Chains A and B, each alone.
Chain A
Amino acid sequence: MNTFFDMGGYGSYVWPAWVLAIIVLAALTVVSLRTMRARERELSKLESDSPRRWRRDLDGGDK
């Protein structure tokens, strides 16, 4: 197992590369999902307390 983590002496380059990639992509995923949920929640709140007629106007009547 130690030889696996040692990576033939290159462990200090191989592991940071992968860890960094995983952190960047995980952070992007979390931020994207959180933003989407927050905005969709806010939108449905706004839509539920604005009259139906306004929304129809916004959609250009194509709904």
Chain B
Amino acid sequence: MLLHRYANPTRFLRLANAVLPWATGLTAILIVAGLYFAFAASPPDYQQGQTVRIMYVHVPSAWSAMFCYAFIAVASAVGLIWKHPIAHVLAISAAPIGACFTLICLATGSLWGKPMWGTWWVWDARLTSVLILFFLYLGFIALANAFDDAGRGEKAAAILALVGAVNLPIIKFSVDWWNTLHQPASLTKIGMPSIHPSMLTPLLLMAVGFTTMFVSLLIVRTRSEIAERRIRALRAARIHREAAAGADD
């Protein structure tokens, strides 16, 4: 089965290392282009003025935060159902990246809210559900590290990730289901997106740039996690052999 071919860390690492330089290069190009369009080649908004430039980091980080959580939920399901060894490693490696994107989303949203809404924070459905997403990330990371036995930690964290996945549609549709201060989506409206191409360009460049950045960081963190597990296994093997050798004397 194709999936199981990549279950072996050696094969997985070969693929990941081939992807890494491309993902890193693409990230650099996309983010530099995104910054150019965000600051030089796009006009101020007729209502938001120059604060619209916060959108070009706020919206892509929000998308990435949700994409990353969906990735963790799927990886956790694969890990729990098929016991695929790399799946939990990927989920654990992705969590801090998602937490950082969520933090950026919350902080930049707050910095936009103050001048535009007149408040740093309001307990409306969109803001609250994204704050819950941030706590889910923190909970996942804490749980994965809470057990001496790494296998139990990753299972407990995977269950949390799956239960927490219910928050994703809540975030997405919160602006339609409730009367939120947060504005509804501009891009995924039925029909044409109600956003001018000059503003859509930096938004999409940053969004794709954040996604390739996620891929690059995920590969680096996964290599790190695999190395950590091998170190632990080798140390355990050494202690075991030394104990066995001692018993023979």
Residues of chain A touching chain B, judged by Cβ–Cβ distance below 8 Å, are 4, 7-11, 13-14, 16-18, 20-21, 24-25, 28-29, 32-33, 35-36, 39-40, 42-43, 46-47, 50, 54-55, 57-59, 62-63
- Chain A residue with minimal CB distance to B213? A25
Q: Mark B90-109, 1 if CB is under 8 A from A, else 0.
A: 00000011001001100110
How many A-B contacts at CB < 8 Å in the complex?
A: 101
The answer to whether the Cβ of B194 comes within 8 Å of any Cβ in the partner chain is: no
Q: Mark B208-225, 1 if CB is under 8 A from A, else 0.
A: 000001000100110110
Closest CB in chain A relative to B230 CB, distance in Å: 6
The answer to whether the Cβ of B150 comes within 8 Å of any Cβ in the partner chain is: no
Question: For B103, what are the chain A residues with a Cβ–Cβ distance below 8 Å?
Answer: 24
Give 13 pairs: A residue, B residue, CB < 8 Å, sorted on A: A8-B44, A9-B50, A13-B115, A21-B57, A21-B108, A24-B104, A28-B97, A40-B224, A40-B227, A43-B231, A58-B230, A62-B8, A63-B10
Contact A39 B237 (CB under 8 A): no
Question: Given A46-B235, A57-B237, A13–B54 Cβ distance below 8 Å?
Answer: yes
Interface positions of B from 11 to 70, Cβ below 8 Å from A: 39, 44, 49-51, 53-54, 57-58, 61
Question: For A8, what are the chain B residues with a Cβ–Cβ distance below 8 Å?
Answer: 44, 49-50
Closest CB in chain B relative to A43 CB, distance in Å: 5
Q: Mark B101-121, 1 if CB is under 8 A from A, else 0.
A: 001100110011011000000
Q: Kindly state the separation between the CA atoms of A59 and B234 in the bound complex, as whole angstroms.
A: 11
The answer to whether the Cβ of B233 comes within 8 Å of any Cβ in the partner chain is: yes
Closest CB in chain B relative to A17 CB, distance in Å: 4
Contact A17 B233 (CB under 8 A): no
Contact A25 B112 (CB under 8 A): no
Q: Kindly state the separation between the CA atoms of A20 and B224 in the bound complex, as whole angstroms.
A: 26
Contact A50 B237 (CB under 8 A): yes
Question: Given A13-B114, A13-B115, A16-B111, A28–B234 Cβ distance below 8 Å?
Answer: no
If A13-B112, A36-B224 are given as contacts, then 10 extra A-B residue pairs at C-beta distance below 8 Å, sorted by A number, are A7-B53, A10-B49, A18-B54, A21-B107, A35-B224, A39-B228, A40-B223, A50-B234, A55-B234, A58-B237
Contact A43 B100 (CB under 8 A): no
User: Which of A4, A13, A24, A63 has the most chain B CB atoms inside 10 A of its CB?
Assistant: A13
User: Which of B111, B112, B241 has the most chain A CB atoms inside 10 A of its CB?
Assistant: B111
Q: Kindly state the separation between the CA atoms of A59 and B230 in the bound complex, as whole angstroms.
A: 9
Question: For B97, what are the chain A residues with a Cβ–Cβ distance below 8 Å?
Answer: 28
Q: Mark B150-189, 1 if CB is under 8 A from A, else 0.
A: 0000000000000000000000000000000000000000
Closest CB in chain A relative to B182 CB, distance in Å: 16
Q: Kindly state the separation between the CA atoms of A54 and B50 in the bound complex, as whole angstroms.
A: 62
Q: Kindly state the separation between the CA atoms of A32 and B217 in the bound complex, as whole angstroms.
A: 7
Q: Kindly state the separation between the CA atoms of A63 and B223 in the bound complex, as whole angstroms.
A: 18
